[in-house]
């Protein structure tokens, strides 16, 4: 029996180890399986020790009896307890060795060397040019999204289903609906003018985007919405009256954008964070003239859209945009989470799409 079990044990072990023959990959290829060979060897060695102990324990726990034992009550019980204790001790040792084998095998997986992420290097000029390229890559855009609102930042509804229409450089239309399709609002911006229609309130407001005082409390949410969509449309490029400074922060770059102020001194009014693998803008802070936080916008879940390509010094690369936007109001009025379901870039738009034909 022991000979048969020993062969059964050795056969799987040899077959496992036989799979680690010299690789056919070129020299320098790092095989993940090859790195696990010492772990499997240790695991099988410990497992074999467990079975040997189990066999030994089984043989001592039930020794052959040549003749019945008569009139040795106490000695028989003592011997039985001794054998039982020894059996339990060996079983415990075998179990400990088996647990050790599992820990050894799992440890090899947990502490396997990971491939080091290569961080890209970039200069102020390169990042500024990249923002301009991404803005130019989007001529038109159609999109469908959902928005979750917390804190009453939008006094219309806490959940909005919406659509986006955009044509470069500054024509945009946002529409919001309830979950059952009822229209909540329509916001249209064309050049230096905007128009906000609120069917549920029976109001229509218009004016200049730089002065939305006529909108009252409604001005804040729509101004934040325009900023948030800038990360999708690429409209946050550096303008001619702005200057920038680059700061390296570990695995990110921070681009401080200075703009003119009333006293004539350039002040930081925007900060852009670039992750250093694809150089996507993953965060944008908007600051007031006094340096206080106006809004924080985070961009996540970047995906390739359409078939458009953005030219770069590294060659053509897919056009990617964030499908998730997290916006936090710096004044503590609430937050908005926007999730895009669909983006279609660079298709012709009609006048109706941009609501130019629906003006009253």
**pLDDT for the residue numbered 112:** 52
Q: Give me the pLDDT at residue 50, please.
A: 53
The whole-angstrom separation of Cα 117 and Cα 133 is 25
Give the pLDDT score at 39.
Answer: 53
Q: What is the mean pLDDT of the chain?
A: 75
Query: For residue 7, is pLDDT > 50?
Result: no
Q: Per mean pLDDT, which range of 13-17, 114-118, 136-140, 275-279 is the poorest? A: 13-17
Domain boundaries 124-345, corresponding CATH code? 2.50.20.10
Instruction: Please list, residue by residue across 229-250, b when 16 or more beta carbons sit within 10 angstroms of its beta carbon and e when fewer do.
Output: bbbbbbbbbbeeeeebebeeee
Distance CA 195, CA 144 (A): 21
Q: pTM value?
A: 0.65
Per domain, the residue ranges of the chain are: 2-19+30-63+71-110, 124-345
Q: Give the pLDDT score at 223.
A: 81
């Amino acid at each position: 029996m022991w000979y048969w079990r020993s062969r059964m044990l050795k056969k799987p072990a040899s077959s496992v180890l036989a799979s680690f023959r010299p690789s056919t990959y070129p020299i320098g290829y790092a095989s993940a399986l090859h790195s696990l060979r010492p772990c499997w060897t240790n695991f099988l060695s410990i497992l074999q020790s467990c079975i040997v102990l189990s066999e030994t324990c089984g043989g001592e726990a039930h020794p052959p009896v040549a003749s019945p034992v008569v009139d040795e009550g106490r000695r028989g019980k003592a011997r039985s307890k001794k054998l039982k204790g020894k059996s339990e001790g060996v079983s415990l040792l075998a179990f400990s060795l088996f647990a050790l084998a599992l820990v050894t095998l799992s440890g090899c997986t947990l502490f396997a060397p990971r491939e080091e992420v290569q961080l890209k290097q970039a200069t102020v000029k390169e990042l500024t040019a990249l923002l301009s390229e991404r803005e130019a890559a989007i001529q038109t855009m159609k999109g469908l999204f959902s928005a979750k609102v917390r804190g009453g930042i939008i006094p219309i509804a806490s959940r909005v289903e919406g659509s986006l229409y955009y044509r470069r450089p500054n024509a945009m239309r946002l529409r919001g609906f309830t979950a059952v399709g009822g229209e909540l609002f329509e916001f249209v911006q064309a050049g230096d003018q905007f128009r906000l229609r609120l069917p549920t309130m029976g109001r229509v407001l218009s004016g200049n985007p730089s002065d939305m005082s006529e909108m009252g409390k409604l001005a804040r949410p729509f101004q934040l919405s325009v900023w948030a969509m800038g990360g999708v449309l690429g409209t946050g490029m550096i303008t001619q009256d702005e200057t920038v400074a680059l700061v390296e922060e570990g695995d990110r770059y921070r681009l401080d954008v200075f703009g003119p102020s009333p006293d004539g001194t350039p002040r930081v009014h925007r900060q852009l964070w670039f992750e250093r693998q694809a150089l996507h803008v993953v965060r944008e802070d908007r600051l007031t003239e006094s340096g206080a936080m106006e809004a924080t916008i985070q961009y996540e879940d970047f995906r390739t859209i359409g078939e458009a390509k953005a030219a770069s010094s590294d060659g053509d690369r897919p056009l990617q945009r964030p499908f998730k936007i997290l916006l936090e109001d710096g004044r503590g009025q609430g937050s908005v989470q926007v999730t895009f379901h669909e983006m279609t870039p660079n298709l012709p738009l009609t006048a109706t799409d941009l609501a130019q034909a629906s003006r009253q």
